Structure 1
Amino acid sequence: MPLLVTRAPAKINLTLHVLGRRAGDGYHELESLVVFTGAGDTLSLEPGPDLALTVSGPTAGPAGPLDDNLVIRAVRHLARLRPGLRQGSFHLVKRLPVAAGIGGGSSDAAAALRLLGRLNDIAPDDPDLVAAARATGADVPVCLVPRARMMAGAGEAVGPALDMTPLPAVLINPGVPVETAPVFRALGLAVGDRHGTGAHPVIAPGLGAEALLRAITPARNDLETPARSLAPVIDVALGALRAAPGCRLARMSGSGATVFGIFGHRSEAARAARSIAAVHPGWWVTAAMLR
């Protein structure tokens, strides 16, 4: 069988409300509007008898021990549910920054499950595929079919695709890895605590860019303040976006340190990305369409 290839796009949280910390399992309960970029990592699978993973690319170094990589974890979770699962050798080209709040590892794991689905004729919504995604990590289920949608709970509740108009944006990671667990600890919620003021806006399917901006502007990312306390450079990156001509909204994604700015036109986003990258050559800066 020929080589199978898929993209693992960056996940961007346009909003992220923390509703509280669940009494039953201690997980933080979230409500988030998630979108994806058109580019990201690339994962390929060469079918064969042995499970293996190699990693290359600009951010391959910080990807961590291969045996602990989320790609391998996802494969093993699905193999336990599907005895006799056909597998093979994976190769991951890492382009996205790690520990960045854009779901790079989760998207890679979801990409692995998609490739195994193609190899084994497993539908994307098959319960075993979804169960393997949930067992692998909180952000993996929403990345299985990377389209704009709401995510809730601890990531296990994924809404239908929203078919929104793509948004021109600039993504910035200022080069400081931010682990998720310390950010949640800095939020300071005890088990059973509730959090946040104001309900998440209702996001209707098929919204145009202007209507979507109006809907999400009053929303927030509740992890932004604790993340900024751990990595003050996030403030600098947000300031660079807000100062860029044409920026309509700037916010942090996930638990940081990646931030995004939404622009009115692709040309404005492209100019802003070039200008910011020239001033901050050590940052990861890219123009993108969020969809």
Structure 2
Amino acid sequence: MTAFRETGWAKINLALHVRARRADGYHEIETLFAFVDDGDAIEAEFAETDSLTIRGEFGEGLSAGGDNLVMKTLALLRDRYGADRVPPLAVTLTKKLPVAAGIGGGSADAAAMARLVRRHFLSELGDAALARLVSSLGADIAACVASATCLGVGVGEELSAVPDLRLGGTPVLLVNPRQPVATGPVFAAWDGIDRGPLFTGADMRAQLFGARNDLQRPAIAQCPAIADILLELGALRPWLARMSGSGATCFALFDAAAERDTAAALLAERHPGWWSMAGALR
């Protein structure tokens, strides 16, 4: 049986500036998306009817029904292009990424499903067209389609390239305390203070030091372990360490893979209960 495969690359927010609350309940943000070269795995094969099987360390308790973003994506593309173009598929999702973790797990999985369908059945679709189609399912999904470093504004769905930010191959370490953090309450606890825009310019790496994640403080209030992780990561001397998204995952960027690997080994020894993933930026 032919199996189709795709990866839901882990998303990180190198910076996330919250600018305003909107009347519809969403927030205006400016964020720099980046993606790690590892993540959840999706496999699919032809079947009589659609189905979803969820495996992996973080699969327990997740819905495998039509309300799962993976299945919503498949249904959306079939509704748009027809069953003759998008056939029934038996899908297996292997969850390597923690859920409610600020690294786009569900959005990355939805985008991976979209890429899988596009690659094998809708090859005429480019990234921009595909992102527009699936963005209605979630703001981060649009960025996850290309899974390339980009600037997101609005609610994160208005994307533009950042060619001056050349971070491909940068060693990265993700760390999570295995405590889920709900996005809604973190955004709701933002203090409403606009601390300024996320500037983009010639020396993007230098500007990253002056950037921030405005959700870090309210996320720490919900999950104090985030502060512990950031303290530990900072002591390992990366060139940048910050919380991603609404938490609780934090990331550290290093100049060399050996530095990242040494940091990962030390953290595993000191905090065996924490989850971590070592990789590189795409």
Would you call these one fold, judging by a TM-score over 0.5?
yes
Structure 1 partner of 2:151: 150
Decide whether the 8 Å contact of 1:35 with 1:147 is kept in 2. Answer: yes
Structure 1 partner of 2:66: 67
Q: 1:146: Cα distance to partner?
A: 0.8
After TM superposition, the structure 1 = structure 2 runs for residues 37-76 of structure 1, keeping only pairs within 5 Å, are: 37-76=36-75
Decide whether the 8 Å contact of 1:124 with 1:145 is kept in 2. Answer: no
AA aligned to 1:13 is: N
Structure 2 partner of 1:164: 166
- The secondary structure found in structure 1 opposite 2:66 is helix
Q: Does structure 1 residue 174 correspond to structure 2 residue 172?
A: no
Deviations 1:215-254 (A, max 9, x none): 211000011011011111100000110111x322211000
After TM superposition, the structure 1 = structure 2 runs for residues 84-99 of structure 1, keeping only pairs within 5 Å, are: 84=83, 85-99=86-100
Structure 2 partner of 1:14: 14
- Given candidates 174, 194, 197, the residue that maps to 1:196 is 194
Q: 1:188: Cα distance to partner?
A: 4.7
Evaluate the alpha carbon distance shift between residue 187 and residue 257 of structure 1 in structure 2; reply closer, same or farther with a 3 A threshold.
same
Evaluate the alpha carbon distance shift between residue 188 and residue 87 of structure 1 in structure 2; reply closer, same or farther with a 3 A threshold.
farther
Structure 1 partner of 2:228: 236
- The secondary structure found in structure 2 opposite 1:144 is helix
Structure 1: which 5+ runs fail to align? Answer: 190-194, 205-210
Structure 2: which 5+ runs fail to align? Answer: none
Evaluate the alpha carbon distance shift between residue 87 and residue 130 of structure 1 in structure 2; reply closer, same or farther with a 3 A threshold.
farther
Structure 2 partner of 1:186: 189
What is the distance in 2 between the residues matched to 1:252 and 1:103? 13
Structure 2 partner of 1:276: 267
Q: CA RMSD in A?
A: 1.8
Deviations 1:7-33 (A, max 9, x none): 11100000001111223x332111111
Structure 1 partner of 2:31: 32
Q: 1:87: Cα distance to partner?
A: 3.4
AA aligned to 2:175 is: I
Structure 1 partner of 2:5: 5
Deviations 1:37-76 (A, max 9, x none): 1111111111234111111111111434533211011112
Evaluate the alpha carbon distance shift between residue 94 and residue 202 of structure 1 in structure 2; reply closer, same or farther with a 3 A threshold.
same
Evaluate the alpha carbon distance shift between residue 109 and residue 17 of structure 1 in structure 2; reply closer, same or farther with a 3 A threshold.
same
What is the distance in 2 between the residues matched to 1:131 and 1:13? 21
- The secondary structure found in structure 2 opposite 1:63 is coil
Structure 2 partner of 1:192: none
- The secondary structure found in structure 1 opposite 2:15 is coil
- The secondary structure found in structure 1 opposite 2:241 is strand
Evaluate the alpha carbon distance shift between residue 268 and residue 212 of structure 1 in structure 2; reply closer, same or farther with a 3 A threshold.
farther
Decide whether the 8 Å contact of 2:14 with 2:31 is kept in 1. Answer: yes
What is the distance in 1 between the residues matched to 2:38 and 2:159? 22
Q: 1:286: Cα distance to partner?
A: 2.4
Structure 2 partner of 1:214: 206
Structure 2 partner of 1:125: 127
Structure 1 range deviating more: 226-235 or 61-70: 61-70
Evaluate the alpha carbon distance shift between residue 10 and residue 203 of structure 1 in structure 2; reply closer, same or farther with a 3 A threshold.
farther
Q: 1:161: Cα distance to partner?
A: 6.1
Structure 2 partner of 1:207: none
- Given candidates 217, 238, 249, the residue that maps to 1:247 is 238
Aligned identity (percent) is: 39
Structure 1 length-normalised TM: 0.89
* Alignment length (residue pairs): 277
What is the distance in 2 between the residues matched to 1:251 and 1:152? 19
Decide whether the 8 Å contact of 1:86 with 1:116 is kept in 2. Answer: no
Structure 1 range deviating more: 83-92 or 110-119: 83-92
What is the distance in 2 between the residues matched to 1:249 and 1:33? 14
Evaluate the alpha carbon distance shift between residue 62 and residue 259 of structure 1 in structure 2; reply closer, same or farther with a 3 A threshold.
farther
Structure 2 length-normalised TM: 0.92
